[in-house]
Structure formats: C-alpha cells, structure tokens
Amino acid sequence: MSAASASSRVDDDDRVYDEDVRVMVDAMRARRSPSLQSTGVGPARDALESISRPPGPDMQTVRRVEFEGPHGRVPVRVYRPHGAPEQTAPVVVWFHGGGMIMGSLESFDRLAREVAAATNAVVVNVGYRLAPEHRYPVAHDEAYAAVRWVRETAARWGVDPDRIAVGGDSAGGGLAAATALRARNEGGPRLAQQILVYPGLERRCDRPSMRTFADSPFLRAEDIDWMKSLYLGDDPSTDDEYGTPAVATDLAGLPPAVVVCGYADPLRDGVEDYGRRLQEAGVLTAIIRYPGVGHGFFMQSASVARARSAIAEVGGLVAARFARNSSAVPD
C-alpha cells in the first residue's frame, strides 16, 4: 500500500468512525490483523472465544437445556430478565453471529443478556451447529426447529406462544430472516416480529458499501466469500431463500421487522435493500442505520457508546411492538 493510500484511509477512518470505535480500528490496523481466511477456522474460533468481555446484565434466571433437533440435540440458554411477566412473557428466539463458522452460547452470552434486558423478553439463545463440519441446511434446520420447540414448550418457559419473535446478529440475523420465511411458507409457527441486526442475507454483491468498506477491520469482503462458501458451498446457482434470504422473490406476509446496520459495514447496502423490499411487500419494517460504527458493533457495547444506545433503542422498539398488536407501525 502506498503512503498516499494509507494516509487517505486514515482520513477516512477519522471521518467515518466514532472516536471510541476509531481507537479499536487503529489498534487492529497496528496489529496488522490477518484475514479470517488466512487465520483458518480453528484459530478464528479460538480467537473469538478468547475475547474477554464484562458480564452482561443480571438475569432472574438463566437455564441451560437441550432439545432434540433434526440433526441431533441442540443446546440453548434461556434468559429471563428481572421484571418479565411470569407466565405470559414475550420471547425472542436468538441466533448468534460468527459467519456460520464460529461463535457459541458462551461468547455471545453478554449480548443475549443485553437483548433480554433491553426488550424485557425471555431470550432463547440457540447453539446451532457450525460449518464447515455442518453445512447448509443444518444450521437453518436447527433454527427453525428451535422456534417450533419454543412454541410447543411455551408453558414450560412461561412465555406467550402468540408473542414469539426471531432475531439475530450477522450470520444469526440471516438465520432469523430465513426462519421467518420458512415459518410463513410452512404455515407456522406464527411470529410476532423479526429482529435483523446487520444480517448476513446474501453472498458478496457489488454494492457501494461493499466496495467502500471491503477492507474493514471488522469484516473483510474476502472473508465474506470464504465463510459463505464454507456454509453454502462454492456454487451460487444452488442457493435458495433459506440459505440466502436475499434471493427470495416474495416477501409478502412476513412478520414485522426491525432491520439494523452500521454505516461503515460492507453489508450495509444489502441489508437496507432487504429492508426496503420488506416495506414494498407490505411488511411493517423499521430500517435503522447507525453512524460511526461498523459490522459487529452490538458486540462492542462494553467499549462503544453508540452500541449501548443502539441496543437500548432497538430493544425499546421490540418491546413496544410486543406490547401492541403485531400489525402496529413501529415508531
């Protein structure tokens, strides 16, 4: 990289990122953090699991259980926040991020707690199987099975079977979108809403945000290609709407949505395009773009102020939608 291009990138970073995010960006660039692909699956998983995060909000209860899924037993953690109704709480079935190749109930424990506290809903965090050991459709099958299991066991968890939402961040947001599509197509369970936080909805496409932020330290374009291939395979012609929700041709009849992205995220334009398509299909959808942050910012709440405010704001929207009729328009 030439000195001129390096200087230009620093100027871009100064303008694009909030100050607390820029501190992280500068540190990552100084370390010359390698791509995930060059790191490899095992070391990438280890690196994510090794990140030290402060504990999340205290919960009334956290229960660790398993259910029998289509590919074997699936671990889940059920978080009940203080103040949630004892027998009729709303519930969010949450799918963690990690590009379909990494992440666990442990590494996403803090975020699950924050989602539960912000929404005042029970959160069921799903430990779905990862690629490349388990390629599509395994994770999708387990995500859909988790929603059906929550519906069938609602009384056990003290949740309202008519107020089930799906949600997730990054890869998990893509799983949530795909689960909403399948629930519509197969006649249930009926979902109250979907919460799509910078969801992975498509393979890499030539969009402005993908070109501008292709070298983002939080998510590189080359790593998107690599992780999608590990999960979906190398042939895009085989993609369907459950593996790649953006290829769905009909979005009508889906549950209301909150669609979230950061300005400096290479996925931004694809995420917002999906949100607009939901709106055009008559789905009540709030599209929220947060400035100053990149991909994965919900996981940065311990050090990034905008992440904390975004979780609170999105949580408030979700709680308000749970409290109203599901056809109500979000503020």
Q: Which residues are catalytic?
A: 170, 265, 295
Residue whose C-alpha is closest to residue 294's, from 256, 322, 268, 331: 268
Question: Per this entry, what is the length of the chain?
Answer: 331
Residue 31, classed as helix, strand or coil, is helix
Beta-strand pair 72-80/61-69 = antiparallel
Pick from 94, 90, 78: which is nearest to 128 by CA?
94
Cis peptide before 189 (omega within 30 of 0): yes
- Put the strands of the sheet holding 257-264 in their side by side order: 61-69, 72-80, 122-126, 89-95, 159-169, 193-197, 257-264, 285-294
In three-state secondary structure terms, 264 is strand
Rg (CA), the chain: 19
End-to-end CA distance of the chain: 45
Quick one: CA torsion of 34, 36, 37, 43, rounded to 10 degrees? Answer: 100
Comparing C-alpha atoms, which of 183, 203, 202, 204 is closest to residue 192?
A: 183
